[in-house]
A and B are shown apart, each in its own frame.
Chain A
């Protein structure tokens, strides 16, 4: 599957079925800091991902707020 990691401005290819929470652990991403999106659909951490999927990890943390 193709994983777009928006906040790191990179894309990685991951092989094999796994759940969202396993993917985040592998990529070292804190699940509190991102939303996981397939198409226009938000995914929960137990959602199953397959090789044909294109996934976006969208950061949710904004900074610089005074």
Chain B
């Protein structure tokens, strides 16, 4: 197979674009798609300070890498979730990337700050792990961004992620979620950072190919808690469609962005106020993260026989100030 640009040996085929590329021209294709996403959706400019949520996986490391190469001021944020060896490996890969490329990295540590891992938080509050994990990450992404003066938080959600979420929302006609699904979530509160997904034009396979072509050492193994996740089922279904009909995923998601979301109006817009405990924006009096950590701390007290009023197992909930963030390369 030949590169469609230079006729050299191709290494990546992009069937949805009827194209194949050599390494150099694949990087050029990738850059163009990301740049277009940033500009089309007005995500940020080179004057913005961008906080990139980095997990050590292919998507987030690829995002961090491409933003830095394109000249954006991108600082990484790694959150230690306390998921045993998986968290150790993902932390190592993230630090290795930062050290090798001289990239700025902040680190937040959930077990250290809140006294328990996301798995323990999930167990103590009878949530599924992905729910406790997602809630914790969203909370810390925003808090670290606001505390450190970042104007925008970028995550590595790719075309496949967004198409899978869309399929899930459509299957259950979650109209409020559908109305909110977007590559850009604007700031609607002084303490809410804008959230953007610059890889929404990039297929998951292309993000992995980018990481390999760029020589980025990422964590290949999946989070042990993701086994059986619904998103994997939706992705499998979408990949069957994509195999038979290249471009199916982009047609579904980009078509939704161009034509579908306008039909849903503004039902996704909600009024926000400051959480009375931590000050982070929330729709309720106490934010969902504080409620979760408070409940978990209370359960731990009861389990240890302390009862109400005994010393908390977790650190003060929603403690003000920055998480345990430090430079690391």
Chain A interface (Cβ within 8 Å of chain B)? 6, 30-33, 35, 37, 40-47, 58-66
Residue from B134, B204, B242 in contact with A62 in the complex, judged by beta carbons closer than 8 Å: B204
B12 within 8 A of A: yes
With A32-B243, A41-B11, A44-B1 as contacts: A66 and B134 at CB distance below 8 Å: yes
State whether A42 touches B130 (Cβ < 8 A).
Answer: no
State whether A32 touches B205 (Cβ < 8 A).
Answer: yes
- Of chain A, the residue at the smallest CB distance from B208 is A60
- Of chain A, the residue at the smallest CB distance from B205 is A60
With A6-B220, A31-B243, A58-B220 as contacts: A64 and B130 at CB distance below 8 Å: yes
Task: Tell me the interface secondary structure of chain A in the complex.
Answer: loop
Q: List, in ascending order, chain B residues with CB within 8 A of A59's CB.
A: 220, 222
- Of chain A, the residue at the smallest CB distance from B228 is A63
Q: List, in ascending order, chain A residues with CB within 8 A of B13's CB.
A: 44-45
State whether A64 touches B226 (Cβ < 8 A).
Answer: yes
Q: List, in ascending order, chain B residues with CB within 8 A of A65's CB.
A: 134, 157, 161, 164-165, 231
- Of chain B, the residue at the smallest CB distance from A44 is B1
With A61-B235, A63-B229 as contacts: A35 and B209 at CB distance below 8 Å: yes
Chain B interface residue count, Cβ-Cβ cutoff 8 angstroms: 41
Q: How far is the CA of A41 from the CA of B213 in the complex (A)?
A: 8
State whether A64 touches B11 (Cβ < 8 A).
Answer: no
State whether B232 touches A61 (Cβ < 8 A).
Answer: yes
- The interface centre, meaning the residue of B13, B59, B157 with most chain A CB atoms within 10 A of its CB, is B13
- Of chain B, the residue at the smallest CB distance from A61 is B235
**Could you show 14 A-B contacts with beta carbons less than 8 Å apart?**
A30-B236, A30-B239, A30-B240, A33-B236, A35-B208, A40-B212, A42-B212, A45-B13, A59-B220, A61-B204, A61-B236, A64-B129, A64-B229, A65-B164
Q: How far is the CA of A65 from the CA of B236 in the complex (A)?
A: 14
Q: List, in ascending order, chain B residues with CB within 8 A of A60's CB.
A: 58, 204-205, 207-208
State whether B220 touches A35 (Cβ < 8 A).
Answer: no
B174 within 8 A of A: no
Q: List, in ascending order, chain A residues with CB within 8 A of B20's CB.
A: 44
Indicate with 1 or 0, residue by residue over B19-59, a CB within 8 angstroms of chain A CB atoms. Answer: 01000000000000000000000000000000000000111
Q: Which 9 A-B pairs have the closest CB atoms?
A: A64-B226, A66-B134, A63-B232, A63-B226, A32-B239, A60-B208, A44-B1, A63-B229, A42-B11
- The interface centre, meaning the residue of A32, A42, A43 with most chain B CB atoms within 10 A of its CB, is A32
Q: List, in ascending order, chain A residues with CB within 8 A of B133's CB.
A: 64, 66
- Expressed in whole angstroms, the minimum distance between the Cβ of B93 and any Cβ of chain A is 14
- Expressed in whole angstroms, the minimum distance between the Cβ of A16 and any Cβ of chain B is 21
